[in-house]
Amino acid sequence: MLLKNLKKTLLILSLGFTAATQAQDVKLLNVSYDPTRELYVEFNKAFAEHWQKTEKQKVTISQSHGGSGKQARAVIDGLEADVVTLALAYDVDALYQEAKLIPEDWLSKLPNNSAPYTSTIVFLVRSGNPKKIKDWDDLVKPGVEVITPNPKTSGGARWNYLAAWAYAKQTQGSDEAAKEFVTKLFKNVPVLDSGARGSTTTFVQRGIGDVFLSWENEAFLALNELGKDKFEIVVPSLSILAEPSVAVVDKNVEKHGTRKVAEAYLKFLYTKTGQDIAGKNYYRPRDAEVAAKYADVFPEINLVTIDEAFGGWSKAQAEHFNDGGVFDQIYKPGAR
Amino acid sequence: MSGAVSSLNRRALRATDATTEPLWVRILLTAIALSFLALFLVIPLIAVFTEAFSRGADVYWAAITEPDAWHAIKLTLLAAAISVPLNVVFGLSAAWAITKFHFRGKQALITLIDLPFAVSPVVAGLIYVLLFGAQSWLGPWLSDNNIKIIFAVPGIVLATVFVTFPFIARELIPLMEEQGTSYEEASLTLGASGWQTFWRVTLPSIKWGLLYGIILCNARAMGEFGAVSVVSGHIRGQTNTLPLHIEILYNEYQFAAAFAAASLLAGLALITLVVKSLLEWHHVREREKAVRAASQQA
């Protein structure tokens, strides 16, 4: 009796949901990572206007945000995203590897490795830079507390880790030296949050740590939201080119009948309007013309790419972040 | 005679001496209790409300009437409205079975009822992901039939039911155990059916305990974070409950809005507590009335 009623309720509820999605208006679900909240609020509005004008159809875009790896997991477990806009190619690739939700060649479906905007890793320090942090070398000094999320769960943290590695390898030459450098760096990390936003809160709100390894856009945002007098951005001599990737989730758009609008949505990211919104939200635009407009916002940094420094994401992931990888060897909680 | 009185007085005096601590001990203990209360309950609560109104009543109002917030409120109330009645039915039947009957496996049932208390809410959420997720053995079937459970409202309701499972049963079992089965036996010997016995005899004697359980169950249902967070998918305006919405606002640097929503949740909890106290007060009065009536009759 109880079970029957429960089943009935569930059925009614789920029917209600599917009925709602079959209406004339079209709905999209964009599953994204933590720091893109503000970007997609603005972009969704622009796209909805564009779609209304060109296709005479109302499109409502829902957003879900969280740590990049966690979000990919949720889509694999059945969160029916029409598009994913995650922090790195590896997390998008998991949708193919684990559940075949997207084709193997998804990376080449859109220009620029399916990454319409890029970012990098910079340092956020407290006002006046009391610990005199100028470059990566200063992060491994004793007594400096470094804040970064957990590379196991956060996309941004994996970029942080790889940027530090790339710097050490370039300045000291060998993988062994790089490993030692990164080990020292993580000895200076007092808290590992699961996502980039959690770490921002730790550094900014709870006042823990001397330097925060942050997405460039996240650093600008913290500066704007919480006061330019409280924090400073320090640009290291070398960092990594972060390419947050986007993809249409084929299996879900087939099911929802939203392929056309989902593809248009992602392509709109590459238009001047889309690029401009990215630039405004402190993502580095790909479009040269729009990028020129924001040239004074983004400092010139010597950026290495994951392909040239690490031989691609799959290799970097397997070597560094999978269970038993380098990160597991160097970071042992409690053994500080 | 007079000797007897004075010895009685002395004894009374000694008795008060024995139960009364020195003044400074009393002051110290009271001060510790009060400052503890203030530090851990009152001040944080006040802080929530002051932060909520820190940017004025307009911002507060905008924060709780904004569509996503409004949807979160509705979803929270819906989850509570479904899970509380389900748990009333379950809690009543479980307590009834456990206290009025003897059967094999009774201890096992009691332990099972306690399970949601013992299990971390995160695990509770993951159970449903493993059961109904796209990668589970049920997943393909659910997907083919277009039934969404996790990352949709049903999953949120399921997770809420799970974590609030023990509240009503746990409230009723001790009460019904204490009352024993003699009234029910009398009722049955007088020819009432089982159903009549339940409605006319059992239910009236446990109604206060039941109400109390419902209130606690409701408070937890509205406040649950962990289990719901795992199965929610965090889609704004669709699968965010009020506690999840608060976290999102906080992470978006909208501190005033976050605390406005938090104050709303705290407000709901406070209302719950007031209702609970009113019920208790009413219950005590009714009992006193019954005792007085009984003594007058005697």
- 3-state SS, residue A127: coil
Provide the CB-side half-sphere exposure for A14 (13 A, CA): 21
Answer whether A144 touches B (CB < 8 Å): no
CA nearest to A241, candidates A306, A291, A292:
A306
Distance CA A321, CA A335 (A): 19
**Measured in whole angstroms, how far is the alpha carbon of residue A178 from the centre of its chain?**
24
Q: Cα-flanking dihedrals φ and ψ of residue A138, to 5°?
A: -70, -15
Measured between CA atoms, how close is B250 to chain A, in angstroms?
9
Distance CA B258, CA B88 (A): 32
* Contact yes or no for B151 and A10 at CB 8 A: no
Distance CA B272, CA B128 (A): 29
Nearest to B149 among A2, A10, A226 (CB): A10
**pLDDT computed for residue A95 by the predictor:** 94
Answer whether A19 touches B (CB < 8 Å): no
- Please identify which residue in the block is written with the tokens 């609008």: A261
State the burial class of residue B63 (Cβ atoms within 10 Å of its Cβ: 0-12, 13-18, 19+): buried
* Contact yes or no for B148 and A17 at CB 8 A: yes
Side chain identity, residue A158: R
Dihedral Cα A312, A313, A317, A318, nearest 10 deg: -50
More confident residue, B253 or A256: A256
Give Cα separations from A325 to A213, A316, A321, A322, B206 (angstroms): 22, 10, 5, 5, 59
Give Cα separations from A242 to A13, A88, A159, A286 (angstroms): 41, 7, 7, 12
How much is the average pLDDT of A317-325?
Answer: 89
Q: What is chain A's length?
A: 336
Residue numbers in B near A225 (CB within 8 A):
253
Answer whether A3 touches B (CB < 8 Å): no
Looking at chain A, which residue has its C-alpha nearest residue B148?
A14
CB-CB contact of A63 with B235 (8 Å) = yes
Tokens in use for A138? 């200063």
How much is the average pLDDT of A72-94?
Answer: 92
Its ipTM equals 0.73
- Please identify which residue in the block is written with the tokens 């009398």: B186
* Contact yes or no for A65 and B147 at CB 8 A: no
Q: To which H or E segment does residue A26 belong?
A: strand A26-32
User: Please, which residues 29-48 of chain A have a Cβ atom closer than 8 Å to chain B?
Assistant: 29, 34, 37-38
CB-CB contact of A88 with A110 (8 Å) = no
Provide the CB-side half-sphere exposure for A86 (13 A, CA): 31
Residue numbers in A near B253 (CB within 8 A):
221, 225-226
Looking at chain B, which residue has its C-alpha nearest residue A33?
B234
Q: Residues 6 or more apart from A166 whose CB is under 8 A from it?
A: A178, A238, A240, A304, A309, A310
* Contact yes or no for B146 and A6 at CB 8 A: no
Side chain identity, residue A290: V
Distance CA B243, CA A315 (A): 39
Distance CA B253, CA B260 (A): 13
Over chain A, what is the mean pLDDT?
88
Tokens in use for B217? 């169950």
**DSSP alpha helix (H) spans, B66-138:** 67-100, 106-118, 121-132
Q: Which residues pair with A121 in a beta bridge?
A: A215
Distance CA B24, CA B30 (A): 10
State the burial class of residue A226 (Cβ atoms within 10 Å of its Cβ: 0-12, 13-18, 19+): middle
Each residue's pLDDT expressed in tens, for chain B with a length of 298 residues: 444 445 555 555 555 555 677 888 889 999 999 999 989 888 988 989 998 888 888 889 988 888 889 999 999 999 999 999 999 999 999 998 898 888 888 889 899 999 998 889 999 899 999 999 888 888 888 888 888 888 999 999 999 999 998 999 999 999 998 888 888 889 889 988 888 888 888 888 888 889 889 988 998 999 999 999 999 988 888 899 999 999 888 877 788 889 999 999 988 888 888 888 888 888 788 888 888 888 877 6
Residue numbers in B near A77 (CB within 8 A):
129, 133-135, 150-151
Nearest to A74 among B132, B233, B252 (CB): B233
* Contact yes or no for B154 and A10 at CB 8 A: yes
* Contact yes or no for B152 and A65 at CB 8 A: no
Residue A332 has pLDDT above 80, yes or no: no
**pLDDT computed for residue A46 by the predictor:** 96
Q: A3, A11, A13, A231: best mutation site toward chain B, by most B Cβ within 10 Å? A: A13
Residue numbers in B near A10 (CB within 8 A):
147, 149, 154, 157
Tokens in use for A73? 């997991």
Side chain identity, residue A156: G
* Contact yes or no for B82 and A37 at CB 8 A: no
**pLDDT computed for residue B183 by the predictor:** 87
- Please identify which residue in the block is written with the tokens 């939200």: A281
DSSP letter at A248 equals E
How much is the average pLDDT of A100-114?
Answer: 93
User: Please, which residues 188-247 of chain A have a Cβ atom closer than 8 Å to chain B?
Assistant: 197-198, 201, 221, 225-226
Distance CA B248, CA B265 (A): 15
- 3-state SS, residue B142: helix
* Contact yes or no for A78 and B237 at CB 8 A: no
Determine how many CB atoms are found less than 10 A away from the CB of residue A243.
23
Dihedral Cα A85, A76, A250, A243, nearest 10 deg: 30
Binned at pLDDT 50, 70 and 90, residue A9 comes out as low
Looking at chain A, which residue has its C-alpha nearest residue B151?
A79
pTM over 0.80: no
In DSSP notation, A26-84 reads EEEEEEE-GGGHHHHHHHHHHHHHHHHHHH---EEEEEE---HHHHHHHHHTT---SEE
Residue A75 has pLDDT above 90, yes or no: yes
| Euclidean distance between the first and the last CA atom of chain A, given in angstroms as a whole number | 56
